[in-house]
């Protein structure tokens, strides 16, 4: 074998070896990609440990270049939004090692992170926050911790799960503000002080309607139930055990679609039943919080950056009005796509992919129609609209007949034709009426004519007399 052939074979083997050992199997390495090796951990499963590793990969890959300036406004919200979408930024990964110990799982991965896409989304999220602000949350809670013997609620437990969630939604562990929460005063102004958060938690449809009225992005529904019973004595002291079940649902307020639904059961032991209940619910919230945060931020960022699909149903919309609506929506910067499923004289159905909320989309439809349609409702399927009813045609004015008695005030002359049919358009004095209902000029004119006739007859008689006196 010649030296040249030998070098060619060695070169081919090196290229092949490099391709086989490249991290992120199946991933195409772009100039803007970075390769990192991280270890994810979880107390529940290897799957959660893998997701934790992908989040760490994104943080490490973008940390120096994208996450370096922590002084910008809403840094925590932007950072957590990017990390919540970690799987979308990892182009490929290899699992290098798995390790399980009692109560802990660990997964080591080597991942290829799309840094260019993170840069683009980082800037886009900044624009979204400046335009829309932080996501608004309405949190409602119904909570009961009952005594197993009396069946009565434990005293002074309060809404433990709600308060824990509100604190986590309001601030990060570093104290940075994350979301805007609707306070009790604002809620009372909208629904009245006799309607509690517990009542809304038990009526999801009404809670969604209230969230829409308050322009909330998400509705957080918390239901927690527990039972306190006597436990085994600990070091000679009586103890209490509380079994707590908590369920937390996240609903997108604009279209009432469910974003997350987490349920967890915990048990805590303490000398005081109230303390045991607080500890049980605190642990429950802490366990589901990362998944809740990921679900909210993922749904919010996907909808704001790429749009969400909303079904728009029109009732009895003429073709020209429907065409104007579609054309107007396609020109709207907040609308990504409009697809007409059906249109006839009775029903119009369109799917709209938009970054607007359902309420904002409804306003866009009303503007595109030129004010000829109005929203009827916003339902789980989207929104519904109809034609604005035409104003009723007023009846013609009644014909005024001449009346006895004092003359009625005359109407002002028309500018176009003038009073009394004068085509010159000049105003003309109104014609006065006599007590008999005739125009007042009739009587003087009759007297003048009578005087003329009398004078004429008198002249004839005088002439005849002169003629007779002059005859021979």
Domain ranges of the chain: 21-132, 134-298, 307-387
Q: What's the chain look like in SS3?
A: CCHHHHHHHHHHHHHHHHHHHCCCCCCCCCCCEEEEEEEEEECCCHHHHHHHHHHHHHHHHHHCCCCCCCCCCCHHHHHHHHHHCHHHHEEEEEEEEEEEECCEEEEEEEEEEEHHHHHHHHHHHHHHHHHHCCCEEEEEEEEEEEECCCCCECCCCCCHHHHHHHHHHHECCCCCECCEECCHHHHHHHHCCCCCHHHHHCCHHHHHHHHHHCCCCEEEEEEEEEEEEECCCECCECCEEEEEEEEEEEEECCCCCEEEEEEEEEEEEECCHHHHHHHHHHHHHHHHHHHHHHHHHHHHHHHHHHCEEEEEEEECCCHHHHHHHHHHHHHCCCEEEEEEEEECCCEEEEEEEECCCHHHHHHHHHHHCCCCEEEEEEECCEEEEEECCCCCCCCCCCCCCCCCCCCCCCCCCCCCCCHHHCCCCCCCCCCCECCCCCECCHHHHHHHHHHHHHHHHHHHHHHHHHHHHCCC
pLDDT at 177 > cutoff 70: yes
State the pLDDT at residue 320. 94
- Residue 11 — pLDDT band, cuts 50, 70, 90? very low
Token pair listed for 67: 């996450």
- Residue 9 — pLDDT band, cuts 50, 70, 90? very low
Q: Which CATH class is domain 134-298?
A: alpha beta
Least reliable range by pLDDT among 68-72, 199-203, 338-342: 68-72
More reliable by pLDDT, 52 or 447: 52
Which of 18-27, 179-188, 417-426 has the highest mean predicted lDDT (pLDDT)?
179-188
Least reliable range by pLDDT among 78-92, 124-138, 266-280, 444-458: 444-458
- What residue has token string 């998944």? 291
Q: In what order do the strands lie in the sheet with 240-252?
A: 180-181, 136-147, 218-230, 240-252, 258-270
State the pLDDT at residue 267. 87
State the pLDDT at residue 234. 66
Q: In what order do the strands lie in the sheet with 33-42?
A: 33-42, 104-114, 90-101
State the pLDDT at residue 230. 78
pLDDT at 459 > cutoff 60: yes
By the 8 A CB rule, do 76 and 172 touch? yes
Terminus-to-terminus CA distance in the chain, angstroms?
A: 178
Q: Which of 206, 301, 297, 312 lies closest to 250, judged by CA?
A: 297
- In whole angstroms, how far apart are CA 201 and each of 142, 198, 206, 222, 278? 6, 5, 9, 7, 20
**CATH fold label, 307-387:** Alpha-Beta Plaits (3.30.70)
Percent of the chain residues past pLDDT 70, beyond the cut:
76
Q: How far apart are CA 309 and CA 295, in angstroms?
A: 17
By the 8 A CB rule, do 249 and 258 touch? yes
- Residue 425 — pLDDT band, cuts 50, 70, 90? very low
pLDDT at 41 > cutoff 50: yes
pLDDT at 157 > cutoff 90: no
pLDDT at 35 > cutoff 80: yes
State the pLDDT at residue 2. 44
- Residue 368 — pLDDT band, cuts 50, 70, 90? very high
pLDDT at 64 > cutoff 60: yes
Q: Name the average pLDDT for the chain.
A: 79
Q: How far apart are CA 355 and CA 303, in angstroms?
A: 6
pLDDT at 12 > cutoff 80: no
pLDDT at 457 > cutoff 90: no
State the pLDDT at residue 5. 46
Least reliable range by pLDDT among 15-19, 113-117, 210-214: 15-19
pLDDT at 424 > cutoff 60: no
Q: In the predicted model, what is the mean pLDDT of residues 34-63?
A: 90
Residues sharing a CB contact under 8 Å with residue 331, sequence separation 6 or more, in sequence order: none
pLDDT at 423 > cutoff 70: no
CATH code of the domain made up of 21-132: 3.30.1660.10
- Residue 462 — pLDDT band, cuts 50, 70, 90? low
pLDDT at 3 > cutoff 50: no
State the pLDDT at residue 1. 44
By the 8 A CB rule, do 218 and 251 touch? yes
Token pair listed for 60: 């490490």
- Residue 418 — pLDDT band, cuts 50, 70, 90? very low
Q: Which of 384, 378, 381 lies closest to 347, judged by CA?
A: 384
Percent of the chain residues past pLDDT 90, beyond the cut:
25
Q: How far apart are CA 155 and CA 394, in angstroms?
A: 67
pLDDT at 142 > cutoff 70: yes
- In whole angstroms, how far apart are CA 464 and each of 17, 458, 460? 152, 10, 6
Token pair listed for 258: 């469910």
Burial 109-118 (b: 16+ CB within 10 A, else e): bbbbbbbebb
pLDDT at 105 > cutoff 60: yes
By the 8 A CB rule, do 263 and 246 touch? yes
pLDDT at 135 > cutoff 50: yes
State the pLDDT at residue 277. 81
By the 8 A CB rule, do 284 and 290 touch? no
Q: Which of 175, 157, 60, 64 lies closest to 113, judged by CA?
A: 60
């Amino acid at each position: 074998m010649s030296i040249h052939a030998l070098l060619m074979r060695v070169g081919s083997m090196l290229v092949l070896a490099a391709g086989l050992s490249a991290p992120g199997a199946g991933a195409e390495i772009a100039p803007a990609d970075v390769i990192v090796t991280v270890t994810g951990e979880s107390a529940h499963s290897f799957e959660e440990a893998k997701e934790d590793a992908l989040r760490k990969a994104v943080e490490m890959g973008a940390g120096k270049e994208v996450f370096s300036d922590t002084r910008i406004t809403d840094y925590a919200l932007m950072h957590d939004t990017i990390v919540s979408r970690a799987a979308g930024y990892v182009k490929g990964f290899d699992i290098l090692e798995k390790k399980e110990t009692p109560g802990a799982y660990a997964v080591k991965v080597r991942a290829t992170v799309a840094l260019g896409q993170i840069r683009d989304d980082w800037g886009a999220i900044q624009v979204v926050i400046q335009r829309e602000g932080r996501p608004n949350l309405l949190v409602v809670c119904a909570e009961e911790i009952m005594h197993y013997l009396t069946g009565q609620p434990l005293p002074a437990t309060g809404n433990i799960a709600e308060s824990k969630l509100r604190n986590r939604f309001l601030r990060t562990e570093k104290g940075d503000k994350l979301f805007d929460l609707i306070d009790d005063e604002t809620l009372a102004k909208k629904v009245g002080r006799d309607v509690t958060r517990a009542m809304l938690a038990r009526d999801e449809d009404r809670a969604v309607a209230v969230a829409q009225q308050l322009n909330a992005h998400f509705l957080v529904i918390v239901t927690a139930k527990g039972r306190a019973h006597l436990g085994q004595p600990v070091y000679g002291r009586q103890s209490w055990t509380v079994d707590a079940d908590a369920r937390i649902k996240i609903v997108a307020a604009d279209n009432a679609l469910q974003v997350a639904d987490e349920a967890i059961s915990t048990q805590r032991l303490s000398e005081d039943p109230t303390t045991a209940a607080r500890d049980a619910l605190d642990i429950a919230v802490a366990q589901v919080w990362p998944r809740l945060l990921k679900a909210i931020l993922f749904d919010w960022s996907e909808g704001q950056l790429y749009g969400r699909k909303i079904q728009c149903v029109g009732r009895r919309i003429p073709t020209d009005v429907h065409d104007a609506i579609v054309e107007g929506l396609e020109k709207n910067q907040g609308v990504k796509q409009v697809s007409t499923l059906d249109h006839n004289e009775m029903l119009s159905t369109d799917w709209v992919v938009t970054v607007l909320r359902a309420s904002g989309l409804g306003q866009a439809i009303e503007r595109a129609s030129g004010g000829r349609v109005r929203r009827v409702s916003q339902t789980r399927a989207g929104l519904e609209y109809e034609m604005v009813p035409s104003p009723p045609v007023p009846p013609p004015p009644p014909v005024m007949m001449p009346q006895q008695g004092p003359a009625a005030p005359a109407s002002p002359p028309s500018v176009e034709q003038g009073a009394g049919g004068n085509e010159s358009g000049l105003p003309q004095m109104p014609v006065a009426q006599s007590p008999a209902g005739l125009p007042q000029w009739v009587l003087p004119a009759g007297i003048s004519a009578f005087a003329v006739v009398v004078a004429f007859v008198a002249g004839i008689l005088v002439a005849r007399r002169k003629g007779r006196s002059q005859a021979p």
